[in-house]
Structure 1
Amino acid sequence: MKYDKIDAKLFVKNRKNFMAAMQPKSMAVFNSNDVYPIGADSTMPFQQNRDIFYLSGVDQEESVLVLFPDCPDKELREVLFVTETNAHIAVWEGEKLTKAAATKTSGVQTIFWLQDLEKVLFEMASYADTFYINTNEHYRANVQTETREDRFTKWLLAKYPAHTVAKSNPILQRLRSVKDQIELDLMQHACNITEKGFRRLLDFVKPGVWEYEIEAELIHEFVRNRSKGFAYTPIIASGNNANVLHYIENNQQCKSGDLILLDVAAEYANYSSDLTRTIPVSGRFSERQKAVYNAVNRVKKEATNMLIPGTIWKEYHIEVGKIMTSELLGLGLLDKAAIQNEDKNWPAYKKYFMHGTSHNIGLDTHDYGLLHEPMQANMVFTVEPGIYIPGEGFGIRLEDDVVIQKQGAPFNLMGNIPIEADEIEALMNK
């Protein structure tokens, strides 16, 4: 891993909080992700399952964490299984976690090699009544691949059919949505790396540059600052490409007079940042472009101030829609008749702003969070309104990541990243 070691007290605390929410005489199991093949002997870069990382800090394939707070054998209340390493593996693949290193990383005192998993689980299962299985129940999840976790769950329930089953996900949804200060610091670091990449672009972009060249500048800056790279597939959309919400081809030339919508951000230590900025290829906005830009920015500022403890996500989006409707009226994109005759299930403003304004962010870019419950302090949300006008050849979206505070407006983790139109122009023309 490129990132600095994370204090194991974060993972000790996370496990303590998770186990406090478990039923009596129950055990929970968490698996690493698979290493996915590409073809021949090639594999995709490994990405750790966020749940086992959240609870252990282990960032290595073929690892298993078992939590059993009521186990009569105190040494088996927290158990971590890792692949046995040796000199041969160290030469060909690099060093893997030793037992001592696994304890230092996670704070888990009982470490076994993975080859002992079935034997140790058999002993632990004899004391337990319930298994917590780990399923992905994120509201945007659409997973078609059978994961290592899925295969393990099938095996576990087939071998131990008399045990009852509970779900880890509702506990994790609640815990992961509220960030520890260590997590907030890691996310701030990811945002700081993103800032460096964005400022680099303000010196680089000019008419004739290609979208993929911009992507190359960003990945250079991110990796040189100890990030693995992009937190998500980058969107570098010039001109009308910005009106395709998930445009990822990044293969067009940026033309004079156009805008570039940049939805690009770095990860750090598996924590995401999520930035969107829209900048003029030529370094100056047209009068119309600036009017739309400033309207989006005003919506963003008002929406940000609404993210306070007690806010309900669904109700918040309704209020943001009202603010956007007012701005679209001012821009002449909507008239009063369109609003009076709108479909309540698809308000008139949705013609120009068709996506949501905010989502949880953390270990996942679209992170866990129980959206039907009131917002709490130390939750982190994006704020990302946009206006998309295919008929005028441009779309504008602006996005920052903000931490809900106990009192007052949220803290903007991206507060140092330029966003005002005049500042963008000044930096591009210095």
Structure 2
Amino acid sequence: MSHRLVILGAGESGIGAAILGQKQGYDVFVSDAGTLKDKYRKDLQDHHIAFEEGKHTVELILNANEVMKSPGIPEKNEMVKQVRAKGIPVISEIELAYRFKGDSKIVAITGSNGKSTTTSLIWHICKDAGLDCALVGNIGYSFARQVAEDAKPLYVAEISSFQLDDIKTFRPDVAVLLNITEDHLDRYDYKFENYINSKFRIIENQGTDDFFIYCADDDVIVRHLGNLTLNTNSLPFSMKQEIKKGGSIKGDQMMIRVQEERVSMSIYDFALKGKHNQYNTMAAGIAAATLGIRKEKIREAVKTFESLEHRMEHVATVRGVEFINDSKATNVNSTWYALESMSKPTILILGGVDKGNDYSLIEDLVKEKVKAIVCMGSENQKIHEAFGSMVSSITDTATAEEAVQTAFQMAAKGDVVLLSPACASFDLFKNYEDRGDQFKQAVRDL
């Protein structure tokens, strides 16, 4: 009997897992309760992989030897509960990819904020240094699909806590943990501790040849490390203390020491601006150094990196008013980082689907930097309650176009209009990219 792998959810990770499972000789079946995107349906048909959409047929799922659950499906899903009750092992897509990666190395990056930026920067440094590597995971191409279709000696993977929840043997050679702030608590029974444990699973299988790069200025990480016995090589990074092995920034100088090689450069040469990006750049530089990349290459790549779309992206300056698209800020901490790097009076566009936000985190920055707030969401009550007494005006809008026009009318020359919503986008938009694209279009139409 062949190994029956059932895949719940037919998004990028589900399809990637299906293609890899089939290639490895598994009997694969894909089930999605929703409607498939056309490109994913075509992928399954082209590979002759059995699937269903719009339903979960219980008997076709519960006869599995193993179930791969897409990261978007929560534990409280009825089908998942039945799978668990029957004792069928559940794995994540990165676990499946890991099983068949061969001798390849993995650099895995997780954290509540800055994952995509840091992952892209590490990949950019590796590519510039001539390494044959792929950018995978939460940032586009699924890890499993890459292993199936175009295996590489090195994978740079952005990993979410949801992907770490169902690992068994997944073991990155280099693990990067940027920060841990309250996010996605709806998926962790509203217990911050559960989410912290989930993030730390990135190092649970690491050994003495592996590296663990983490922020020594993050209280949550440091506190949790106090309860752990580490089996890996620690490389902390900090702006507050001298670091013997790892990275630090003192004044305007970044210093990285991993093995014998030392890399130093001025923070003014970083392509990415803002304090949070100095942390991201340190983490990326240390990761590159563990791979033996020469310091000249690291310096050069850090200078030439282009920042990501929808992440503190300068859109245009219209009549002296600058517009910045930070649509990827889907939690309050992301918005904190965005506001922290603002140096001009700011009109802030906030709102969307609130995942249990605590707006008190940004109160001080709002008082200091924000002159008006424009809400863009279907449910704005909480924003009014949090900031009503702090800013001169809060206006509700229902489209990106309306939000941009309202903000522009309020702005004076020398101001900045910042879209940094602190919320998910699913009430008015398909996703944060769609929200950012509509914002940019509205700015161009002014």
- Structure richer in strand, relative to its length: 2
Q: With structure 1 as the length reference, what TM-score do the two structures score?
A: 0.27
Larger RCO, structure (CA 8 Å, separation 6 or more) = 1
Q: With structure 2 as the length reference, what TM-score do the two structures score?
A: 0.27
